[in-house]
Amino acid sequence: MRNGSRLLAKLGLFVGLALWLTAAGAQSAYKEGVQYRLVENPQRIASGSKAEVAEFFSYGCHICYDIEPSLEAWIKANGDRIDFIRVTHGPDFFRRSWGVYGQSYYALETLGAADRLNGPLFKAIHQDKERLDSQARMADFVAKQGVDKKAFTAAYDSFAVRTKLKQAQAQWERFGVLLLGTPAFVINGKYVVSPGFQQHVQEKEAKLSETLKVMDYLIAKDSKGAAN
């Protein structure tokens, strides 16, 4: 029995060491200009003491839809150490019909309903193939989700939402995300990460998972640098 216990202990130590080496090897493979890129003029979007993670996304982007469940779980797991910000787009982004998505997001944000409706909106557009490419259709949809239709319509064309759209456009340009596509993540205004950068893995799901791991790596890297 004693020899068996020692064998199990050694085996556990070996497995733990192997897992640690695997993780360390993966992190050491993350290189600037490959798995992530530096922002030329780094600047956070908002002030705060936590690590800032900004997702540049569109409801019309199928990869944004694909990563959303894993991203939501990642946000919940890291809520105590990050400030998470979503940045979407204006009416002239990629496809003109997608402009409704961006304007709707900021309208919902002003009403405090954006986070709650992220999942339903992604599902409606990508899984249920609903056409939400007009203000009227979007207003009908959010009303079914419990959002006051009149309040949404008023917010949609409000000065506050127009201002948010202009600010978002400036952020897309400042971080160079317009040329990368969505989703893209900016860490502390310094690093840009995208599934498209993860060419060291082949499968789509692996690229999405690896994106989150690179984000973990960069948050830890930046935290360590700030502590030194």
CA angle 21, 27, 33 (to 5 degrees): 150
Return the SS3 of 126. Answer: helix
The answer on pLDDT for 124 being more than 50 is yes
CATH number at residue 220: 3.40.30.10
Helices 114-122 and 99-110 cross at an angle (nearest 10°) of: 150
Question: Which residues have C-beta within 8 Å of that of residue 113, sequence separation ≥ 6?
Answer: 142, 145, 146, 147
Do 141 and 201 belong to one domain?
A: yes
Number of domains in the chain: 2
| Most confident residue range from 46-55, 104-113, 189-198 | 104-113
Q: Which of 28-37, 182-191, 209-218 has the lowest mean pLDDT?
A: 28-37
Do 51 and 101 belong to one domain?
A: yes
Do 64 and 88 belong to one domain?
A: yes
Do 102 and 39 belong to one domain?
A: yes
Do 12 and 124 belong to one domain?
A: no
Residue 226 — very low, low, confident or very high, per pLDDT cuts 50/70/90? low
Question: How far is Cα 218 from Cα 190, in angstroms, rounded to an integer?
Answer: 10
Q: Which amino acid is at 63?
A: I
| pTM (predicted TM-score) | 0.84
Do 166 and 74 belong to one domain?
A: yes
DSSP state of 197: G
Return the SS3 of 53. Answer: strand
The answer on pLDDT for 9 being more than 60 is no
Do 100 and 213 belong to one domain?
A: yes
Do 97 and 84 belong to one domain?
A: yes
Say if residues 51 and 223 touch (Cβ distance below 8 Å): yes
Question: How far is Cα 186 from Cα 214, in angstroms, rounded to an integer?
Answer: 11
Per residue in 197-222, pLDDT (tens digit) is 898 888 888 889 999 999 999 999 98
Do 24 and 109 belong to one domain?
A: no
What's the domain range around 1?
Answer: 1-30
Say if residues 134 and 142 touch (Cβ distance below 8 Å): no
